[in-house]
Structure formats: C-alpha cells, structure tokens
A = this chain, B = another copy of it.
Amino acid sequence: MARLSLQDVRDLAQRVLRRHGFSEPYVQAIAETMVAGERDECASHGIYRLLGCIATLKAGKVSADAEPQVVDQAPSVVRVDAGGGFAQVPFRAGLPLLVKKARQQGIAILAINNCVHFSALWAEMEALTAEGLVALACTPSHAWVAPAGGRKPVFGTNPIAFGWPRPDGLPFIFDFATSAVARGEIELHRRAGKAIPEGWGIDAEGRPTTCAEEALNGAMLTFGGHKGSALAAMVELLAGPLIGDMTSAESIAFDAGTKSAPFGGELIIAIDPGRILGPDADQHLARAEALFEAIQGQGARLPSQRRYEARERTQRDGVEIPDALYAELKALLD
C-alpha cells in the first residue's frame, strides 16, 4: 500500500487531469470529488476513478473544456447544458441560481443535461446543506441492473442522495446506489480477484453468481427487491425523460462499447425550510435533532457517520492506495 496525504491525492489528480488536457475548472472540480472520495474512504468514488476519466476522454466520450450554459427555465427551474463535460463543473455553474430560486420560491429544480457522470452526489448535497437547504439528487447511469423479476439490464446503478442541514455540525446525508452495491465495488472485487456476495448480480443467463466478472457481464440486482427496483425506475424517469435526457439504456447505447462513464442528466431538488416554516424554522430544525439522537442513542449509525469518522482519520493520517493502482495512476502522467 502507498500512503498519501489528501494534498498528495489532490496534486496527483490535478496533475493527471492537466496532463490530459482538461481545462482548469474541470481540473479543480474533478480533483475535489476524488479527494472527497478518498477523504471519506469511499474508495469506489476515489482516485481510482481517474482511470475511468482518462479512458472516457480518450474514447472521445467527454469534453475536456466544455463551458456549461445556464438557462433560467421557469420560476422554480434552472437548466444547465453541460455540453458533454463532467457533471462537477455544470453543477457549480447552476448552483447560485438554484439556491436563489429555492430561497425565493420555497423549492426549486436544477436539471443538468448532457453531462458525463461518476456519481459522487454526496459532495453536491454538502454544497446545498451548507446554504441551509434540504436537498435531493439522482442520476441514471448505464443499463447494468435488471428490474426485480427480470434478468436483462435496464436500469443504471441510479444513486439517490439526500441532504439535511444540521445547526451544530456536519449535515445528515445519504447517497446510495439503488443497485445492491455500486458498480465500482464489483469492479474493485474483480481487480482484487475476490468473490462477490450473493444478491449483487446474476450471470448472462439470469442465474445468481458470486463471480464479479460474470455479474459485470450479466446484470446487477437492485437493493431491496421490488421496492429498490421501483426506486431505480423513478430515477430513470426523473433524471431522464422528465428533464429531456437519456435513460440508462440510451446512455449505454450511446457508449457503443467504449466502457466510458455514463452520459446523460442529473436532477437536483433544493428546498428552503425557512420559506415553508417562516420564523419557526430554527425551532423545527432543532426538533430533527431529537430524531438523530433517538437513532444514535441506541447505538445505530446515521448514514453519514462512517464517512465523517473516516474524514477525521484521513485528514490526520492520509489514505492508503493499493500499490498496483498507484502505479497505474502514476503511469497516466507519462
């Protein structure tokens, strides 16, 4: 294992992205997503993703310097045409108008179109909770996941994220794939030559499998049976046709076998508690703390708790990267 500080992670990511021609807004924003992934010990969304970023660029499936176009679509709707760049930059471009609209109207939508995604939504939720807003986000990906009762991929891993601002500390945030696990987890198992648990995937004939390679070539499964499958369909609809963008099936067809990152849309909803509650907002947000206390008080975890504990640790001690991965990443500088 190679031990790196978070600043080392940032420097490495920025150097690789610059070396391959990404413009400075992308260099900055993508590197910060990877730092956040490593910092919170979400390896599947960490610096490992640089490999996919560069492969996607080389396949001609992402723009290295697209300038996002922000459109004031309706009183409560912002659209951003990403022009084929990674999602982090159009998100940053649309954020100020989304925040303004949520504060004025009570609730607002940010629809990002034509972006390439590697789905680290929790970082976006933190940007919104930092403004005192409640936030929801989702995005399709590539059709890798079979619907409950089926055997052919239709859905992406289709993450759903939610953020809630807390008055005296880090926000309540969850961000999970509606597949049983993130695809990156199965890829990491394949790289490590490890079996996957049952329930993660089926082979190309629809049979349960514990082989990562077979699941990657067959279909992943949703979490929670038909309920997870229903949520995955909702993500397809909300961040696909509703905002005039691709479903996961359309994204993987567009990909044409290059194994690039998913292309399509992302939907973010922001709600201002103050606009609903008026002067009572602080009192009601404080009541939410009793809910968190009832969960933690019985020894259960909040969804974000593990990430925040990791964050304290990695900011102090840095992170460990497998040697083989570190060598592959450094080779991207050649």
Q: A325 an interface residue at 8 Å Cβ cutoff? A: no
Q: Is the CB of B244 within 8 A of A284?
A: yes
Q: How many copies altogether?
A: 2
Q: A115 an interface residue at 8 Å Cβ cutoff? A: no
Q: Is the CB of B162 within 8 A of A299?
A: no
Stretch with Cβ within 8 A of B (4 or more), from A73-81, A184-192, A209-217: A73-81
A interface size (C-beta, 8 A): 69
A102 (CB) vs chain B CBs: closest residue? B76
Contact string against B for A residues 49-80, beta-carbon threshold 8 Å, 1 for contact and 0 otherwise: 00000000000000000000000011111010
Q: Shortest distance in angstroms between A101's beta carbon and chain B's nearest beta carbon?
A: 9
Q: Shortest distance in angstroms between A172's beta carbon and chain B's nearest beta carbon?
A: 7
Q: Is the CB of A230 within 8 A of B176?
A: yes
Q: A7 an interface residue at 8 Å Cβ cutoff? A: no
Q: Is the CB of B233 within 8 A of A74?
A: no
Residues of A within 8 A of B (CB): 73-77, 79, 104-109, 111, 134, 146-152, 154, 162, 164, 172, 174, 176, 223-230, 233-234, 236-238, 240-244, 247, 249-250, 269, 271, 273, 275-277, 280, 284-285, 287-288, 290-291, 294-295, 298-303
Interface of A is mostly: mixed
A134 (CB) vs chain B CBs: closest residue? B242
Q: Provide the residues of chain B in CB contact with A77, threshold 8 Å.
A: 105-107, 275-276
Q: Provide the residues of chain B in CB contact with A149, threshold 8 Å.
A: 299-301
Q: Shortest distance in angstroms between A166's beta carbon and chain B's nearest beta carbon?
A: 11
Among B76, B111, B250, the residue within 8 A (CB) of A76 is B76
